A and B are shown apart, each in its own frame.
Chain A
Amino acid sequence: MSKKALRKRLALGLAPILLVASLTGCRFGFASDPDDPNADKQEVVIDTSTDTFEYDASLKGTSITLLNTKAEIQVALEKVSKQFEEKSGVHVEVMPVTDGDSPYTKMISLYNSGNPPTLAILDTTDVLALAKEKAVDLTGEAWTKEAQGYLTELDGAVYSFPLCVEGRGVIYNQAVIEAALGEKFDPESITTLNEFITLLDKLAANGIERPVSMAKEDWSLGAHQLQYLYETYDGTSEGAQEAIEAIKAGKLDLHSYNRMSDFLNMFDTLKKYNVAVKDPLGADYDEMAIDLVDGKTAFWFNGNWAWPNLAEAGAEESDVYGFLPYFMNNDPGDFVNQKVQASPSKQIMLDGQIATAQQQAAGKAFLNWLVYSEIGQQMLVKTCNLIPPFTNNPYEPADPLSRDIYQKVHDGKAFNSSAIVPNDHWSALGAAMQKYLVDRSDREELMASIQSYWDEQK
């Protein structure tokens, strides 16, 4: 072959590879946005005929902003704000946080530009970091009485409004389990880790070879799974705090702390039956929803926020999905085997630094409206599809996952414990968990990572 022909072939060969690679990416990955949960939701009807809420006429014409960090309810919140404006004359501008931005980063840049949102939906850790200097003390607000047990306090004062309760555990698809086993499935019949393993084995024998999906994302591994370590200390937030302090102080040895081995026993079980066992870190989040709906798997470790993904994958609101507890041992009397974790996750903070008195009053009115107005109550549950922590709200959520959590909260089958951990806990220890997930580290190394993380926090 002549030199020229060789050169030509080289160039000819390389260019199409580069082109094709980019084209395939375009066609499959970006033709439409499969992640948009607002895409085709049915319109829910809100009954606006009764409204006993007393509107403050002096607030008419006030304009406030609401920073929304729950992307899946952006459209719903805009509807809520429109309704509120119609009724009260207060304009609430809903500002989204885009995917790439972290809520806290967004808050920092807004504060630094002297233009912070009047109201901001934040994670509890973020509220605690900002509260003292920036937030309005909401301790005296009437709604605090309706949300007993769901308030976050900092030195005895309440700085935030609990927007919703979120629960997590092992999601099951009832129809899939029943079809595989050929008999009725009663989730309550599973009360220990061994019973759960027996069920997994039965499913495996009946065609669902690996019935579990578990997300490889560090927030799932490092926050939602690992935090059971603290939250199951005694099932309360205070207990979780106590456990963390004890680990930090070196008083609670992870080697002898029974929740550590309990947690890893359950984690190992999920790991063993993981559908992506060959390549756990290659598992795709969207595919997990599809697998659960289609019956390739029967379980998915996640929370009720996963509903939009399931709905996207074809699940209907009439289907039966629910949560199993995160079984940690074989004592049927232990609360971890009876209850799922559910606690307030998103909090609304009211700015007290830049917002005018009028704006603060309007912000408070909006929060009150969500709790006390019949319209606000409905919109919180039906439009936003949230589980409200307020006892006076009579409405029930519509999707199976939220309904199950709601039911469990009301039946006392949920424990309200949320560990307040430093902001990089999920990413730092999420990485350690990923390593453990793919067997690149053992229990010993994982425990050492956890301990050294907490040692650094002193």
Chain B
Amino acid sequence: MKSKNNGKDFGIFALPGIFFFLAVVMVPFVYGAYLTLTDWNGVSNVKNFVAFKNFGGVVKDAQFWTSLLLTFRYVILVVVIVNILAFAIAYLLTRGMKGQNFFRAGFFTPNLIGGIVLGYIWQFVFSRVFVSIGESTGWSLFEVSWLSDPTNAFIALVVVSVWQLSGYMILIYVAGFMGLNADVMEAASIDGASGFTKLKNIIIPLMMPSFTICLFLTLSRAFMVYDVNLSLTAGAPYGTTEMAAMHVYEKAFTSRQFGVGQAEALILFVIVAILSGIQVYMTKKREVEA
């Protein structure tokens, strides 16, 4: 129903939000897209229009494609592990065990530590604590710092990200479990469903909204990872753990190729937008009501 008041309500409630959204998201985004078509170096007074030359630079930038591939591998591992782990722990923590609130808080804590600090803490753990454990026990696994080997440094990145992200996802899954209708569960039990069958046919379909949110969050966060990457490995050893977001930054500010960096950022954005769009569409489609 339309009333005169509608315009006023819209003005009061939506305009400020729209204004800020435009000011801090849309304007910089459009301006950034425009910058990919110029040769601006970030500071000079003149910007020359160069059409798609910067995108040509992206194609030639082999390191970008390598880091993008690495990011894909990282995203797949992080999304899968985080969600399985978080779902499993959330399942355990909604069984009414003693002290489960304490555990929920404990698992959530890593998420409260900022990515940069977290990276430094783990850098210390990997390169000092583990190494001294290796020295005193003779375990070859910890003999040298994980961060000085390309494969192990990548695993370290995944481990730390999983550790950080799981807590948040646990919280969402816990909420999902608690929202399950007791009547439905009981009905399922009476019908003879138990254990895995109940999980597969009743719980997971009913918890699809939680999956939608969790997958979306982990997917976008993992793609855009920068802080942990910077403070844990900074691309080391020899640039083998440089993820896409970090490469974009390096390209723009260290190599001072603003246009190319910006173009790479745009490409990264498009990839993330498409993939998370597909994911949300797919999981939403599978959401059911009890």
Most A CB within 10 A of own CB, among B113, B128, B148, B238: B238
Tell me whether B250 and A424 are in contact (CB under 8 A): yes
A335 adjacent to chain B (CB < 8 Å):
no
**CA of A289 to CA of B127, assembled, Å:** 17
**CA of A100 to CA of B147, assembled, Å:** 20
Interface size on A, residues (CB 8 A): 48
8 A Cβ contacts from A389-438 to B? 422-424, 427-428, 431-432, 434-435, 438
A282 adjacent to chain B (CB < 8 Å):
yes
Known interface pairs A102-B253, A424-B255, A434-B238. Does A11 touch B148 (Cβ–Cβ under 8 Å)? Answer: no
* Segment touching B, from A20-28, A54-62, A156-164, A308-316: A20-28
Tell me whether A279 and B124 are in contact (CB under 8 A): no
Residues of A within 8 A of B107 (CB): 14-15, 18
Tell me whether A427 and B250 are in contact (CB under 8 A): yes
* Segment touching A, from B11-19, B22-30, B67-75, B89-97: B89-97
* Segment touching A, from B2-10, B37-45, B175-183, B209-217: B37-45
**CA of A14 to CA of B103, assembled, Å:** 9
Please, what's the 1-or-0 string for B247-264, where 1 marks a CB less than 8 Å from any CB in chain A? 000100111100000000
What bracket does the count of chain B residues touching chain A fall in?
Answer: 35 or more
Residues of B within 8 A of A25 (CB): 120-122, 124-125
Q: For the complex formed, measure the closest distance between the CB of B252 and the CB atoms of chain A, giving whole angstroms.
A: 9
B138 adjacent to chain A (CB < 8 Å):
no
A19 adjacent to chain B (CB < 8 Å):
yes
Please, what's the 1-or-0 string for A121-134, where 1 marks a CB less than 8 Å from any CB in chain B? 00000000110011
Known interface pairs A7-B92, A104-B253. Does A282 touch B148 (Cβ–Cβ under 8 Å)? Answer: yes
**CA of A25 to CA of B97, assembled, Å:** 30
A184 adjacent to chain B (CB < 8 Å):
no
A90 adjacent to chain B (CB < 8 Å):
no
Tell me whether B95 and A4 are in contact (CB under 8 A): yes
A284 adjacent to chain B (CB < 8 Å):
yes
Residues of A within 8 A of B154 (CB): none
Known interface pairs A19-B106, A26-B121, A112-B43. Does A284 touch B255 (Cβ–Cβ under 8 Å)? Answer: no
Nearest opposing residue in chain A for B127, CB measure? A282
Q: For the complex formed, measure the closest distance between the CB of B88 and the CB atoms of chain A, giving whole angstroms.
A: 9
A8 adjacent to chain B (CB < 8 Å):
yes
Nearest opposing residue in chain A for B166, CB measure? A18
Tell me whether A279 and B42 are in contact (CB under 8 A): no
Known interface pairs A25-B122, A29-B120, A102-B253. Does A111 touch B43 (Cβ–Cβ under 8 Å)? Answer: yes
**CA of A440 to CA of B239, assembled, Å:** 13
B144 adjacent to chain A (CB < 8 Å):
yes
A10 adjacent to chain B (CB < 8 Å):
yes
8 A Cβ contacts from A301-328 to B? none
Q: Within the complex, which residue of A19, A129, A424 is in contact with B254, where a contact is CB–CB below 8 Å? A: A424
7 pairs from A and B in contact (CB 8 Å cutoff):
A11-B97, A19-B109, A108-B253, A111-B43, A216-B148, A282-B131, A434-B237
Interface positions of B (Cβ within 8 A of A): 41-45, 89, 92-93, 95, 97-98, 100, 103, 106-107, 109-110, 113, 116, 120-122, 124-125, 127-129, 131, 143-145, 147-148, 163, 235-239, 250, 253-256
